Amino acid sequence: MPRRTDLRRILLLGSGPIVIGQACEFDYSGTQACKALRADGFEVVLVNSNPASIMTDPEMADRTYIEP
């Protein structure tokens, strides 16, 4: 599939409310998505409801919004 040149910014939604014991899988996959998209040159905008998530680290996304 050819790369779309019209896309420059990607909105990535966090996993939302989590159950104890399930947090690491969702955080890991979201963090890997952030890293891969930024490595490909996209600006990543992250919206997550969990401020304690590793995804909300300032180095993961270009912009981070913590919303319920």
Output the six-digit token pair for 23: 């947090």
For domain 9-66, the CATH class is alpha beta
27 and 59 Cβ atoms separated by less than 8 Å: no
Domain definitions of the chain by residue range: 9-66
pTM of the model: 0.81
Write the CB contacts of 2 (distance below 8 Å, at least 6 apart in sequence).
none
Write the pLDDT tens digit of every residue in 14-63.
877 777 776 677 888 989 999 999 999 999 999 998 888 888 888 999 99
